[in-house]
Amino acid sequence: MATKKLEEICNRISLISPYIRFVGVISTNGELLAYKRRDNMTPLLDSTATKNQFAHIAIKTDMEAKFDKSLGEVQFVWEERKKVQTISFAVGKHRVWVSIDKKVIRSEMLRIIDACFPIVKNYS
């Protein structure tokens, strides 16, 4: 997929909610292909931890694919952590990873997830 389209995905998702901290598209080998970070946002991870996180996403995506035939493809993954919430979606062979402020209530998280689906489906 062309870099321009990956950047469009990041930009469109970042506009869904002011609570979105970061949107990135990660390749199957854990490389960050495109991203959008909220203005004036301090990252929670340093550069080494960020690379490790993206590698983890790539490995997890590969492992999940092994169950696609039996369970169906993963639609999205939602993680709640102490400092942030994350969601991820498959777009072709890539993974879109979104981090969201921890203080967001569940109904806003569900709204964000529902708003992401048409975007990722458009590019899948």
Domain-wise residue ranges, the chain: 3-123
Terminal alpha carbon distance of the chain: 10
For domain 3-123, give the CATH number: 3.30.450.30
Spatial distance between the Cα atoms of 79 and 42, rounded to a whole number of angstroms: 20
pTM score of the predicted model: 0.88
53-77 pLDDT, tens digit each: 888 888 888 778 788 788 888 888 9
For the chain, how many residues are written? 124
10-52 pLDDT, tens digit each: 999 999 999 999 999 999 888 999 999 998 888 887 788 888 8
